Amino acid sequence: MLYFLFYTIFLIGLLVFAGVTYLALKKIKLI
């Protein structure tokens, strides 16, 4: 149960990081 919680938090953090990186790159017009 505890490992599942950590895994879920890790996945959410990864998605948020990917989203922020994507928006930043879009703002800089790299993609």
Domain ranges of the chain: 1-31
Contacts of residue 31, defined as CB under 8 A and 6 or more positions apart, other chains included, come to 22, 25
6-24, pLDDT tens digit by residue?
999 999 999 999 999 999 9
Mean pLDDT score across all residues of the chain: 92
pTM above 0.85, yes or no: no
30 phi and psi, to 5 degrees?
Answer: -85, -25
**Residue 31 pLDDT > 80, yes or no?**
no
CA 8/CA 10 separation, integer angstroms: 5
